[in-house]
Amino acid sequence: MFIEIEPDSTVPIYLQLAQQIIEGVAKGTLKPGDSLPSVRSFAADLGMNMHTVNKAYHYLEEKEFIQIVQKKGVVIHEKGVRKATATDRQRLTKEMRPILAEALCLQLSQEDIELLVKEIILDLKEVK
């Protein structure tokens, strides 16, 4: 896993970490059953606190992306991540909405935005 943290970002460190793990799952770099580093070793590698990694893990567990096995370790959810529910779609829509509104204000056309989305998805799919 190649993790790059921006310390001065407004996005909390634990969230940046969690999001990049999610990206790993999306790309297929992280496959179902793969194990993640322990909170201590990961924290040491990334130069952050053990509790920060722990927070990221629990964030991912709540989203059902990973499984935390008591006293053993952390594993990408076996059998793959669950399929999106109606609630998931609703949440994703809500998160996307203000960004798209801003894009429209900045005079991006519907085609421009759709192209932008396609590029992002393409980039998320290609394994580097």
Partner DNA sequence: AAAACTGTTCTACTAAGAATAGAACAAAGG
Partner DNA sequence: CCTTTGTTCTATTCTTAGTAGAACAGTTTT
The binder of a second copy chosen from 1, 23, 29, 35 (CB under 8 A): 23
Residue spans of alpha helices (H) in 1-128: 13-27, 39-46, 50-62, 86-105, 110-125
- Is residue 96 involved in binding a second copy (CB under 8 A)? yes
- Is residue 40 involved in binding a second copy (CB under 8 A)? no
* Binding partner selected for residue 13 from DNA, a second copy, none, CB under the kind-specific 5 to 8 Å limit: DNA
By CB under 8 A, how many residues form the interface with a second copy?
41
Angle between helices 110-125 and 13-27 (to 10 degrees): 80
For the bound state, the minimum distance from the C-beta of residue 66 to DNA, rounded and expressed in Å, comes to: 10
Given its phi and psi angles, is residue 64 left (phi above 0), alpha (psi -120 to 50 degrees) or beta? left
